[in-house]
Amino acid sequence: MKIRFIHTADLHLDTPFKGLSEFNKALADKLKDASFQAFRNIIDCCIVKKVDFLLIAGDIFDTEERSIQAQIRFVTELKRLSGAGIPAYFVCGNHDFLGSWLDTLQIPGNTIQFGSSLDCESFHRDRVALADIYGISFGTKAVTENLAARYERKGNPAPISIAICHGTIGPAGAHHNYAPFHLSDIQDKQFDYWALGHIHKRAIIHDAYPAVVYPGNPQGRDFGESGEKGCYLVEIEPGQPPQLLFIPTQVVRFEKIQIDLAGIESIDRLPPQITNAIRAMPAYDERVSCIVQITLTGKTRLHAQLRKPGEIDGLRSLIMNEGQLLETPFMWIDRIEANTRPDINMDEIEKGNDFAAELVKLFDNYSDDAAKRTTLLQSLSEELLSAPIKREIVPLSPEDEKDLIERAKWLVLDQILTELL
Amino acid sequence: MVSLGPNPHGIAMIIRDIYIDGFGVWNGRPLTGFTKGINIITGRNEAGKSTLQKFIRYTLFGYPHLTEHRMAPVNGGVHGGRIRCQLSSGEEAIFERSSGSKGGNIKLEYHGANTSDGAQWQQLLGNASGDLYKNIYAFSLDELVELDSLKSSGVEDKIFSVGLGLGNTSIGNIESGLSNQVNAIYLPRGSANRLAKLMTEFLQKKTRVQEIQNDLPRYQGLNREIETLQAGLEKTKQDLQVSRNEHSRLKNLLACYDNFIEAEYCREGLLALPAKQAYPGNGLVALDKLEGTESSLLEKIRDLQQGTGEEQGLLELENERDAIIVKDDLLKQQGKLTMLVNGLALHKQKVLDFKEDDEKIKRIEESIRQELQRIGSGWDTGHIREFGNTILHKDKIAGFRQRREELDRKRIKLETEETTMAANRPRLNIPAIAITISISILILSIVGIIYRIYIPAAALVLIAGIVFWRRGKYGSTEDPLHSVRHELKALREKEEPAWRKDYQTYLVSELRIQGSLSTDAVIDILNSIESIKKEIAEQDELQARQGRDRSPSILAYNQEAASLKPFLDELEAADTTEEWVHLARTKFESAKRDAERKSRLEEIIQQKTRLLERAKTELQETLTSTEQLLGGIGAEDRAAYRKKYADNEEVIRLNEVRNRAILTIEKIAGINTFDKVSQFLSTHDKATLDENIRALDAEVQLLEGQVQESSTSIGGKRVERDRIEGESALATHLTELEMVREKINQDYRAWAAGKIALKIMAEVKAKYEREKQPAVIKSSGKYFSAMTGGKYGRISVSLGEKAVRIYDALEASKPIEQLSRGTKEQLLISLRLGFIEQYETQSEPLPVIVDEIFVNFDPDRLKETARLLHDFAQTRQVLIFTCHPSTKDYFEGMEVNAIDL
């Protein structure tokens, strides 16, 4: 008996979009419903595809944002799903741990919210239990225990066993290392499907026996969450490997694009070059709105021209304007960074015996020497007296520090090497 | 001896000629003869040496901004002039400039063309600025000692930049540019920098976000309060419902109270009455009906006998009938009277016609008499009656008159012809002339024949014939007047007398009237006779009609009318037959009416008598029926009958009222509840019920108030909760916050990059200062060492502080402030020469101008300096301005170009 369900996670409803380079109210307004709309798209998909149930593997909202709307609208959509006779099962993650939910919220009768201890709910069709769904919610924000290890099938199980779990499998990467576990911890537990959440990049960790899947978040929220975002439509037949179909649900897509200007002689060629690069992104869908950061790289004769004040802004306005935000879908270029280099032999410069050569050597020395970098940046931090500003400064990674020094180097070299550029 | 670096351009730019249109004391002044190498321009004080230097600077690099500094010509002429130069490339260019704003108006003559292209002008001057030129290339003694002049307008930086191998790029400019950038982003103090503004914006947005986030506990609290209030409200609503039900029950019982009392009253009433009887349903109605019938019959009998206001009774009718006496004998004359009445109109017409005929006869007799008198005496009606047929006589007389008229017309005609002819008798006899002509022609024709001219002769014969034949047309051969006169005579003498005789004979013999009467008079008499004849005939006819038609019938009618007189009483009342007839008819009509009325009364009496008899019969029958009705229910009389019925009706009524009351109670309190209600109400009085209801009313109102209050409170809290819900969307605010946060981070990184750039630049500069002195300093050091005869070895400059120090041969250092004036000037000349040498490695070499620089030099150093300048000028042009004619002596043995002003 086949079952069909949708697996999603990390909705992060009513949370902000980060990393947009300039303040733009129209853009902010445009984005305000994106997370809700992505969830609506999932509910629509459940109804249209007539799935048996919906699984949500935590982080439905961000408790630190203290959003009322997130929970209310979450329940509103669940009621719509319930109205279509489709039950939902969800666990709470680190962002929406059990204690953070509004205690007066009334979820529909056929929606199951798992508690902080392992529980099992059976899905029935025609009074026959087809699947057992197990889940453990985060009771507090920081759960460092291996929750996955606590999942055990009950006696006399249904033909299909599914585990919903919010946690980190393997290295955490950019994410908090909550509820960490390894594949080996769950491989022998005889579950058919591990519906995971927490990692925002979708990944099929293991194809079958068991299938271990992160669906990623259904809507990207910054340029670090680029690419297609959505959920998985899963079909499982006992004894067969699950069939997974990725369904895009995002309303706005975030992308970073690098364009190498090597060989490009005229700045007039840049707008079509950029437009083509946008269209050439993987799984580009013109029906989905898009916010793009473009980095121009490479050695180019256009380097000096691109460094002139207003040149990049002019280029951006050639490709898009504010009016694009009136359209749906829209295409918005968040910023264009000219990270180009002049078409000169830097080795020759460095070999020289003049001031420029000394400069290049010293900048490179700072870039390569972590201790010197730290000292340098520490001295900057001391100059930055404003505590409120300091609080909002994102700590720099070593790569960021190197980038900063490279940027500083070219601030000087662009002016010293004017005759060479 | 120092080894001077070669000028990479070969020969530097050389001023060849100067032409001043107007500048300070100069006007219309050409200055020529400038050459490569040393040019010593000598002039006494106030000869205009400084003015000339300024002219060269202003012309090449622009006039000052302030008009008063522009050296306006004091002796007239256009403010400006031109300089002809030989460029380092060997080409010639003329730089011409006139005073004006923004440096003045330029004209460049180059490559055989004139242009005002500022960029090209600048390029030919090696892009040097006016300040640079002033401070490095064209310096005076005073300027030389002004140390600050080195610092102005980045000249100092340029010295170092050139020395650092950066050409025109100014390290200072880069540093100040970067400083401006980082300071615009962040300054530890002040709120105008970008990061401070962004932070303010960030905090505002964060506050708004926190406001929304702070609503969360309130939202939770509201939800809990709403739940609690809702539970309390439900309980109050239940209590309210209980009270309302009890209130409703008591109200219903109270509503039943009156009906309960009525039902009780009926029950007691029934106990006092006999049981219900099954009397005929219409018993009382039947009795009422019989009594009604009886009453109306009695009334009818009385009316028939005694009469009513409208109708007479039998008694009165009989009296009236008996009082009428009818004239039967007169009524028997109805036929005759009818005939008389019918013939009365004809009779009256005949009497009128008779009178009318009499009057006509009299008028005719008068007419005849008048006509007879007009005809003449001797004529009477008898004579007329005998006169023959007038028509025949009139025809005969008409014949005479016609004949007479014919004779008259003939005579008049003849008389007229006679008169005319006599007047118009002709003078020529045309026919005779025609004959004569025809004869003449004939003779001519004969002559022709004789002469054998036959054809003309024949023609003449023919013409003669024609004229002769046509002669009659031209006149008659007889005299007509004679004939007319003959006829006229016959008429007068024969025909007219014959006619007259016949006529007179006829009048006298046939008509027996005078023969002299004209035909018209006779016809008139005949017409009168004919008229009288007609009137006589008419008179005869009228008289005959009177005798035949009128008189007998009139007489007969009168006799018939007179025969009625015996039947009438008032004989004296009528004079004429007509009145008699009318009277008789009136009397007859009266008698007839009496007879008819009596007859009618008789009929009415008979009819009423029949009705009376019938009413009496019906009355008897009604009384019988009434007796039977009373007996039917055993009533002795009508009152008993009615009592029985009344009791029975009351029993029925009481039963109905009671049943209705019970029904009403059960309708209010429910089916089959009467006994229960009855039992309750029999033990509760109305006042107690009212009191209980009032108490419940108060309780219900209290509870309703509580419900209202709770509902309002819940509503208010829901509104607030909904408001919080509505305003709780955070994504927009958070995204905006993130946008500002990102901007802060971007700006921080821009600031950090700028700061890093500045720090690393400073580090490089320090290192450079330590390890490598700029080439300018090195070159300058060589010049300075040479000028001081080796007393000083080298110069050192701090890149950070830009402080100059000198070192002697033993490497002991001295700051510039500790040098003597002369040595300081030598140092500064060395620095400038060193700069020019390095500067020219990358830019167009320009003419060097110095003004009185040797004043404070001792002879040895002066001589050495002159030699250095001479060597320096080997590939350049050096213009030395001086007021001392001996200056050229310093260059003894050296080639110099002396120019006196």
- Answer positive or negative: Cα dihedral of B585, B591, B595, B596: positive
- Strand ranges in B295-441 using DSSP code E only, listed in sequence order: none
Q: Where residue B2 falls among pLDDT bands split at 50, 70, 90?
A: very low
B842 Cβ neighbours under 8 A, 6+ residues apart: B162, B167, B168
Partnered with residue B808 across adjacent β-strands are: B792
Nearest CA to B98 out of B123, B66, B63 is that of B63
Does the structure show a pLDDT above 60 at B625? yes
Q: Which residues in chain B touch residue A377, judged by CB atoms under 8 angstroms apart? A: 752
Contact A102 B219 (CB under 8 A): yes
SS3 A357: helix
Q: Which residue of B has its CA nearest to A382?
A: B188
- Interface size A-B, in CB pairs within 8 Å, comes to 186
B15 Cβ neighbours under 8 A, 6+ residues apart: B34, B56, B83, B84, B85, B847, B877, B879
Does the structure show a pLDDT above 50 at B232? yes
Record the pTM: 0.53
| pLDDT tens, position by position, B875-898 | 889 999 888 888 888 888 888 999
Residue A389 exposed, middle or buried by CB count within 10 Å (0-12, 13-18, 19+): buried
| pLDDT tens, position by position, B86-103 | 988 888 999 999 988 888
Q: Which residue of A has its CA nearest to B213?
A: A66
Residue A355, chain B, CB below 8 Å: the answer is: yes
Give the pLDDT score at B140.
Answer: 64
Q: Which residues in chain A touch residue B763, judged by CB atoms under 8 angstroms apart? A: 362
Give the pLDDT score at A97.
Answer: 93
Residue A72, chain B, CB below 8 Å: the answer is: yes
Residue A71, chain B, CB below 8 Å: the answer is: no
- Strand ranges in B9-126 using DSSP code E only, listed in sequence order: 14-23, 26-31, 37-42, 80-86, 92-98, 105-110, 113-115
What's the Rg (C-alpha) of chain A? 26
Out of B309-318, B584-593, B744-753, give the one with best mean pLDDT: B744-753
Distance from CA of B191 to the nearest CA of A (A): 11
Give the pLDDT score at B84.
Answer: 94
Partnered with residue B92 across adjacent β-strands are: B86
How confident is the model over B705-725, as a mean pLDDT? Answer: 90
Asked if residues A308 and A383 have their Cβ atoms less than 8 Å apart, the reply is: no
Residue B879, chain A, CB below 8 Å: the answer is: no
Contact B732 A29 (CB under 8 A): yes
Residue A385, chain B, CB below 8 Å: the answer is: yes
SS3 B727: coil
Give the pLDDT score at A200.
Answer: 93
Residue B818 exposed, middle or buried by CB count within 10 Å (0-12, 13-18, 19+): exposed
Nearest CA to A227 out of A197, A196, A256 is that of A256
Q: Which residue of A has its CA nearest to B160?
A: A355
How confident is the model over B738-755, as a mean pLDDT? Answer: 91
Q: Which residues in chain B touch residue A22, judged by CB atoms under 8 angstroms apart? A: 739, 743
Identify the DSSP state of A102.
Answer: -
How confident is the model over B287-294, as a mean pLDDT? Answer: 92
Residue B767, chain A, CB below 8 Å: the answer is: yes
How confident is the model over B501-523, as a mean pLDDT? Answer: 85
Give the pLDDT score at B507.
Answer: 86
| pLDDT tens, position by position, B425-452 | 655 566 677 788 888 888 888 888 888 7
Report how far residue B612's alpha carbon sits from residue B616's, in angstroms, rounded to the nearest whole number.
6
SS3 A6: strand
Walk me through the domains of chain A, giving residue ranges and CATH numbers. Answer: 3-248 (3.60.21.10), 251-343 (no CATH), 345-421 (no CATH)
Q: Where residue B6 falls among pLDDT bands split at 50, 70, 90?
A: very low
Report how far residue B364's alpha carbon sits from residue B434's, in angstroms, rounded to the nearest whole number.
81
Alpha carbons within 13 A on the beta-carbon side of B749: 18
Give the pLDDT score at B237.
Answer: 93
Torsions phi, psi of B626, nearest 5? -60, -45
Contact A358 B767 (CB under 8 A): yes
Residue A76, chain B, CB below 8 Å: the answer is: no
Report how far residue A292's alpha carbon sits from residue A295's, in angstroms, rounded to the nearest whole number.
10
Contact A392 B731 (CB under 8 A): no
Distance from CA of B782 to the nearest CA of A (A): 21
What dihedral do alpha carbons B139, B142, B144, B150 form, nearest 10°?
A: -90
Does the structure show a pLDDT above 90 at B695? yes
Instruction: Name the residue with tokens 């063309």.
Output: B113
CA-to-CA separations, A180 to A90, A145, A190, A348, B816, in angstroms, rounded: 19, 7, 19, 51, 72
Contact B731 A384 (CB under 8 A): no
pLDDT above 70 covers a percentage of chain B that reads 90
Report how far residue A219's alpha carbon sits from residue A39's, in angstroms, rounded to the nearest whole number.
9
Does the structure show a pLDDT above 60 at B464? yes
Residue B509, chain A, CB below 8 Å: the answer is: no
Joined tokens for residue A175: 């994410």
Contact B764 A355 (CB under 8 A): yes
Report how far residue B72's alpha carbon sits from residue B701's, in angstroms, rounded to the nearest whole number.
107
Report how far residue B293's alpha carbon sits from residue A164's, in angstroms, rounded to the nearest whole number.
109
Report how far residue A53's alpha carbon sits from residue A245's, in angstroms, rounded to the nearest whole number.
15
Asked if residues A304 and A420 have their Cβ atoms less than 8 Å apart, the reply is: no
Give the pLDDT score at B429.
Answer: 64
Joined tokens for residue B421: 């002819």
- The closest CB to that of B748, out of A15, A66, A393, belongs to A393
Per-residue DSSP letters for B111-173?
Answer: TTEEE--HHHHHHHTTT--HHHIIIIIEEEHHHHH-THHHHGGGHHHHHHHHHTT-TT--HHH
Does the structure show a pLDDT above 60 at B12? yes
Report how far residue A196's alpha carbon sits from residue A179's, in angstroms, rounded to the nearest whole number.
11
Residue A405, chain B, CB below 8 Å: the answer is: yes
Give the pLDDT score at B452.
Answer: 79
Nearest CA to B884 out of B16, B54, B138, B47 is that of B47
Strand arrangement of the beta sheet that strand A53-57 belongs to:
A111-113, A88-91, A53-57, A3-8, A230-236, A243-248
User: What CATH number matches the domain at B14-179+757-900, 3.90.1300.10, 3.40.50.300, 3.30.750.24, 3.40.190.10?
Assistant: 3.40.50.300
Query: Which alpha helices (H) appear in B451-576, and where do they start and end?
Result: 454-469, 480-490, 496-506, 519-545, 551-562
How confident is the model over B739-744, as a mean pLDDT? Answer: 90
Contact B169 A409 (CB under 8 A): no
Share the mean pLDDT of chain B: 84
Report how far residue A291's alpha carbon sits from residue A253's, in angstroms, rounded to the nearest whole number.
6
Residue scoring higher pLDDT (A385 or B500): B500
Give the pLDDT score at A124.
Answer: 95
Out of A188-197, B459-468, B496-505, give the one with best mean pLDDT: A188-197
Report how far residue A198's alpha carbon sits from residue A191's, in angstroms, rounded to the nearest whole number.
19
Q: Which residues of chain A have pLDDT under 70?
A: 172-175, 322, 352-353, 418-421
The amino acid at B700 = V
Give the pLDDT score at B3.
Answer: 36
Q: Which residues in chain B touch residue A415, judged by CB atoms under 8 angstroms apart? A: 169, 173-174, 177
Cis peptide before A210 (omega within 30 of 0): yes
Residue A29, chain B, CB below 8 Å: the answer is: yes
Distance from CA of A144 to the nearest CA of B (A): 27
Identify the DSSP state of A323.
Answer: G
Give the pLDDT score at B153.
Answer: 41
Q: Which residues in chain B touch residue A23, judged by CB atoms under 8 angstroms apart? A: 201, 736, 739-740, 743
Joined tokens for residue B21: 């249109």
Report how far residue A212's alpha carbon sits from residue A192's, in angstroms, rounded to the nearest whole number.
9
Containing B765, the helix (H) or strand (E) segment is helix B731-771
Nearest CA to A159 out of A188, A205, A190 is that of A190
Residue scoring higher pLDDT (B323 or B805): B323
Out of A44-53, A288-297, B387-396, B492-501, give the one with best mean pLDDT: A44-53
Does the structure show a pLDDT above 50 at B520? yes
What dihedral do alpha carbons B488, B490, B491, B497 form, nearest 10°?
A: 150
Asked if residues B53 and B849 have their Cβ atoms less than 8 Å apart, the reply is: yes
Give the pLDDT score at B570.
Answer: 57
Residue A355 exposed, middle or buried by CB count within 10 Å (0-12, 13-18, 19+): buried
Give the pLDDT score at B573.
Answer: 61
Give the pLDDT score at B428.
Answer: 59
Report how far residue A292's alpha carbon sits from residue A227's, in angstroms, rounded to the nearest whole number.
11
The CA-based angle A397-A403-A406, given to 5 degrees, is: 145
Residues in chain B: 901
Residue B177, chain A, CB below 8 Å: the answer is: yes
Joined tokens for residue A255: 């992308």
Residues in chain A: 421
Q: Which residues in chain A touch residue B725, judged by CB atoms under 8 angstroms apart? A: 68-69, 72
Cis peptide before B64 (omega within 30 of 0): no
Q: Where residue B5 falls among pLDDT bands split at 50, 70, 90?
A: very low
CA-to-CA separations, B389 to A222, A363, B394, B527, B772, in angstroms, rounded: 162, 185, 9, 11, 196
The answer to which of B21-30, B555-564, B658-667 has the lowest mean pLDDT is B555-564
The CA-based angle B763-B767-B770, given to 5 degrees, is: 140
Q: Which residues in chain A touch residue B200, judged by CB atoms under 8 angstroms apart? A: none
| ipTM greater than 0.85 | no
Give the pLDDT score at B845.
Answer: 80
Residues 128-167 of B with CB under 8 A from A: 164-167
Q: Which residues in chain A touch residue B729, judged by CB atoms under 8 angstroms apart? A: 14, 32, 67, 69
Residue A412, chain B, CB below 8 Å: the answer is: yes
CA-to-CA separations, B161 to A414, B135, B155, B157, B177, in angstroms, rounded: 16, 16, 10, 6, 15
Partnered with residue A227 across adjacent β-strands are: none
Containing B849, the helix (H) or strand (E) segment is strand B848-851
Per-residue DSSP letters for B283-310?
Answer: HHHHHHHHHHHHHHHHHHHHHHHHB-SS
Task: Categorise residue A356: left if φ over 0, alpha if ψ from -120 to 50, beta otherwise.
Answer: alpha
Give the pairing type, strands B792-797 and B804-808: antiparallel
